Chain A
């Protein structure tokens, strides 16, 4: 039973880690708490649904398309609205992104209605050594690992990735070194949104799609980045795995409904004992 819990926890945790990494990037670079992160994930899921239902595209092949689409949406949002609240007190970014969030959900309701949609592509499980591996979740986990690895490679190895990390460490110094900070901010918001979209595209195969599916993902991503240490990108991976495991353990020993409560208590404890997260992050 415990083995099964660990398997399920890691499978879920890989998605949490990838989606939360997107939020961590945006928060780390711009200090913007992006409430619209969940709705971005929802739009990614709808992109996959649309391509699958209309053109019969293999849902796993839609992951890069959904990421590209939401990258553009993210860049436009940053360019149009969010750039105004970078550096503003947290109240402004919270409210602004909440406004964007309900507007996006409403637009999705108008465009796609509130009916539940599903991409029934792959179902069932593999059995291995007495453990059940849900096929869709295993493939989603593999894709999430790949996307996350590519994102890290991008951050570590490329000049743009280095510029993003430099901007998140100190904007002024990055600026002095010739980094076009406004452009990095757009890129970061686009990249963060693309990571959320990848999560949505992979979730489309696993859960039902509806306009309000993103809300819990915003909250869970916050949990993950605070657990791991805000502004600490490897911390998002640890936090994601931890959240996946804690949720599964909570549903084993208590009940699924209380898994959020357990995760929250964990969050408050971590914030009190280690305000900078488990791996250490930056204090505001």
Chain B
């Protein structure tokens, strides 16, 4: 079975690797966005799916990466792949800065603090006009990088998923899940809970940072409201939740399915799109809180590290 799964994975990855040669511009763009959502949902899953700390402002890292990358490309003239790495680093540093106070907060307070972080970053970015262009946004020099960005974004999605698998199958992952189940008990068993949470938080911030910088390069223009919306946070959460939070492939499945669903809703019902999106969120929360993989694991005794 293991070899079959591995075989399927290799075939899928190979097909995706040659896709830009045959696919249309729209198709490549869409796939690139699917990769982005896989990276975002997978990253959110590392902190929130495993430790249970709900990061309700995860888009902050996406936005921080987007601005860091865009400023380096536009003002410092860095090549965009390097700027993307710097975007990931910037997001990780932000996580380090914010993790020290916020990861000591519990339950709803952590969620509110993260929600607030996002609002604050948007206010800061709008304020420092000299560096960020403020509310007018920031334009990057024109450059057609759709296909290279496709590959790098794909690499990012694979990296995040592989990292999730490594974490979930490691003792580190087990300790994180112990924190989720009972933090006091975890502490009593000798787990340094704070540093475990912090490390998971840093790992979950890097991916969105890189994804933000890549998206900035691809769109060529960013503004505070386009890279810090609460809707991006919620979308990645719902994707992880739909596929199954705390699993390796749940976020991947959720990203693919919900992205396709969203595109279809967009195309057919542009005016009521948010209404239908809201309905999808409510349905996922009420009807399948464990997600598709969670349900399958329950029913068919699938491995925990799926």
A98-B234, A100-B278, A261-B124 as given contacts; A267 in contact with B113, CB under 8 Å:
yes
| Closest Cβ–Cβ distance, residue B287 to chain A (whole Å) | 10
Q: Which residue of B lies closest to A95 (CB)?
A: B285
Interface pair B123/A284, CB less than 8 Å apart: no
Interface pair B286/A260, CB less than 8 Å apart: no
**How many residues on B have C-beta within 8 angstroms of the other chain's C-beta atoms?**
45
Q: Hey, which bits of chain A sit against chain B, CB under 8 A? A: 27, 31, 33, 81, 84-85, 88-92, 94-96, 98-103, 105-107, 110, 215, 219, 222-223, 226, 230, 255, 257-258, 260-261, 264, 267-268, 271-272, 275, 283-284
**Bound Cα distance A110, B112 (Å):** 30
Binds A, one of B33-41, B61-69, B100-108, B140-148: B100-108
Contact of A95 among B108, B120, B273, B281 (CB under 8 A): B281
**Bound Cα distance A84, B283 (Å):** 12
Q: Which residue of A lies closest to B123 (CB)?
A: A260
B279 within 8 A of A: yes
Interface pair B285/A284, CB less than 8 Å apart: no
A33-B111, A33-B112, A255-B127 as given contacts; A103 in contact with B48, CB under 8 Å:
no
Interface pair A275/B109, CB less than 8 Å apart: yes
**Bound Cα distance A102, B273 (Å):** 10
Interface pair A90/B117, CB less than 8 Å apart: no
Contact of A98 among B54, B120, B230, B271 (CB under 8 A): B230
B289 within 8 A of A: yes
Give B113-153 as 1s and 0s: 1 = Cβ < 8 Å from A's Cβ atoms.
10111011001101100000000000000000000000000
Interface pair A102/B109, CB less than 8 Å apart: no
| Closest Cβ–Cβ distance, residue A8 to chain B (whole Å) | 20
Contact of B105 among A81, A96, A102, A275 (CB under 8 A): A275
Residues of B with C-beta under 8 A to A101: 278
Contact of A226 among B54, B101, B109 (CB under 8 A): B109
Interface pair B120/A103, CB less than 8 Å apart: no
B56 within 8 A of A: yes
> Across chains A and B, which 6 residue pairs bring their CB atoms closest together, nearest first?
A103-B278, A99-B281, A106-B274, A99-B278, A99-B282, A106-B275
Residues of A with C-beta under 8 A to B274: 102-103, 105-106
Contact of B116 among A92, A94, A223 (CB under 8 A): A223
Residues of A with C-beta under 8 A to B108: 27, 31, 33, 90, 230, 284
